[in-house]
Structure 1
Amino acid sequence: MPSADLSPAPLTEALPRDGRRQRSRSSHARIVAAMLDLVARGEVAPSAAQVAEVAGVGLRSVFRHFKDMDALYREMAAAIESRILPILLRPPEGATWQARLFDIAARRALIFETIMPYRISANVRRFESAYLMEGYRRQLRLEAEALAAHLPEEVRADLDGARGLNVILSFNTWRLLRHDQNLAPDEAAAVVRRMLGDALARWPEG
């Protein structure tokens, strides 16, 4: 049997394959960018056809890169997470736990304002998607756990009080103020600070 030829393929053969890979990566990135752009412009439930049109690719190309819309939502979530991670990872500042909660409130206002259109979009589709429903529940759990980590033991033991703080600092409260009450970001932030200050008044400073 003749031995196999293991010599490198000629450069002229390698270039087309590299070119196809580069075009594939470019199409993938354009599809994700199109999804982000559509949602940012208020299209809460964009279709694959809309994404394809904005990305400038064929509909079949969308599903060649993403087996379903859930896969595209995963990519969108990863892109948004990369934007907010530096804010999330910075420890809250303040001499007291109350002061740190006000810092968390200010930080969440920035985060929620950044992710609002994308989170609303995911929430619209979560009743049709087990993946998005699980993501929604995970977000609620992470919000509560992140807040609880900065509460004294006696506050965590006050279940009603701790749950109230979680509601005040939640994305759903921010969305209600911004969308349902149509407040500007600074107005919504002022309402959150007022509610938080009123709630914290029940506990001694420290």
Structure 2
Amino acid sequence: MASVLLSLLLLLGPAVPQETHTGPYSLSFFYTGLSRPRDGFPSFQATAYLNDQDFFHYDSEDRKAIPRYPWSQMEGIEDWEKESELQKAREDIFMVTLKDIMDYYKDKEGSHTFQGMFGCELQSNKSSGAFWRYAYDGRNFIEFNKEIPAWVPQDPAALNTKQKWEAEEVYVLRAKAYLEEECPAMLRGYLQYGKTYLDRQGTPLPVSYVLLPRSELRKKGDLRLAQGASG
């Protein structure tokens, strides 16, 4: 598991930074895993956003990162085959973590959910915010604090997750670098293609969000989480 996590972190390489002077602009990812998939709800799905605009969607049925309009019309904005492979790796880690939590609580009955979100924000070309947190069945589970840096458990089962994700110091350092350097660099790269479009859409939602309770999960392709205060 540790080697897989390291490989995943090493795939999160920075794009070439470019100058932008306005904003704010945000890049965010929202994941949901279900122990019992049902019609319209795959076992795993992920949606990426630039500001509050859908950027691409991935799920365990198609297993492809599919860009949304207008990003699908912008040649060269992303290597979608490489992005698909990255999302497959994230899916594997995500679903293993969900199983670990269920095993800890002996949650063998019913359907259970694991949600995650992470992202960053730029204002006048400078990083102005970042977050990375997870929830189990709508309850806060674990969150990354880049100032310590460390994964901070918010649930008894998260102590096991913390141990796995901090098995070696490099994992923590890579997570910190991703939020502070690599995510903003990717966002700057995407802005070279879509800044004009994002500017026309107006002011984006704040970079912080809350995870929805399990009962409020939406259908495939619409995973936007409720806006809220950062915790």
Higher radius of gyration, 1 or 2: 1
Structure with more helix by fraction: 1
Structure with more strand by fraction: 2
Higher relative contact order (CA 8 A, sep 6+): 2
Structure 1 length-normalised TM:
0.28
